[in-house]
Amino acid sequence: MADDINATFEHELKRLEKRVDALVRVCDQLQDENKSLKQRQDVLTAERANLLQKNEQVRARVEAMIGRLKAMEQGS
C-alpha cells in the first residue's frame, strides 16, 4: 500500500516537474519575444520620427514653391 502511494506520488511529482519545465520554457520564449518586439518598436519609433521630419521638410519646400509661383503669377 505504501509502495502504491509512493509510486503515485513519484508519478505526480514527475508530471508536475514536466509542467514546470514547460512553463519555464514558455516564459523564456515570451521574454525573448518581448525583447525582440521592444527592439523592433524602438526601430519603428526612430523611423517614424525620421519620416515625420522629412515630411515637414517637404511640406515647407512645397509651401515655399507655391509662394514663389503665386509671386511669379502676380508679377506677370
Q: How far apart are CA 15 and CA 64, in angstroms?
A: 73
29, amino acid identity: Q
pTM, 2 dp: 0.67
* Each residue's pLDDT expressed in tens, for the chain with a length of 76 residues: 778 888 899 999 999 999 999 999 999 999 999 999 999 999 999 999 999 999 999 999 999 999 999 999 998 7
The four Cα atoms 60, 62, 66, 71 give a dihedral, to 10 degrees, of: 60
Domains of the chain: which residue ranges? 45-76
Alpha helices in 1-76 (DSSP H): 2-75
Residue whose grid cell is 514546470: 20
Q: How far apart are CA 73 and CA 54, in angstroms?
A: 28
Q: Which three cell numbers stand for residue 12?
A: 505526480
